[in-house]
């Protein structure tokens, strides 16, 4: 059974810039749209999203646009953005990562 391609978004990441003698080298990274799940599912997905954002070099304003592109279901209806995440949960993504790692690795 194949994957529903609507479930995933593929991004291209430049790994080596184009030069006069060689074309740019690129890699692709697929991320599944987040349509809901447990808090562990959200933490796992958000770590993947942050990894993608770091590789792409997105600024804060780009993060919120991309986040809204990738979430669906209840989260999309609530239109959670990076700003409202900070307002509602009062911690940074790095604090979230520490909590996730502590829960995952004990």
Q: What distance lies between CA 57 and its chain's CA centroid?
A: 12
Tell me if 91 sits within 8 A of 72, measured CB to CB: no
- DSSP, res 22: S
| pLDDT for the residue 31 | 94
Token representation of residue 91: 């911690």
Q: What is the dihedral of CA 54, 9, 13, 60, to 10 degrees?
A: -30
Measured N-to-C along each axis, helices 39-56 and 93-105 cross at an angle, to the nearest 10 degrees, of: 130
Structure pTM? 0.62
What residues does each domain of the chain span?
33-105
Sequential pLDDT tens for the chain (106 residues): 455 668 899 999 988 899 999 998 999 999 999 988 888 998 999 999 999 999 999 988 888 888 888 887 666 655 555 566 666 666 555 666 666 666 666 5
């Amino acid at each position: 059974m194949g994957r529903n391609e609507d479930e995933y978004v593929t991004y291209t990441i430049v790994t080596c810039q184009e030069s006069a003698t060689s074309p740019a080298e690129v890699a692709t990274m697929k991320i599944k749209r987040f349509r809901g799940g447990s808090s562990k599912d959200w933490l796992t997905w958000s770590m993947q999203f942050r990894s993608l954002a770091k590789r792409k070099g997105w600024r804060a304003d780009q993060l919120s646009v991309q986040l809204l592109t990738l979430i669906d279901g209840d989260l999309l209806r609530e239109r959670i953005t990076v700003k409202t995440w900070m307002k509602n949960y009062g911690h940074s993504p790095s604090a979230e990562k520490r909590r996730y790692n502590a829960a995952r690795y004990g």
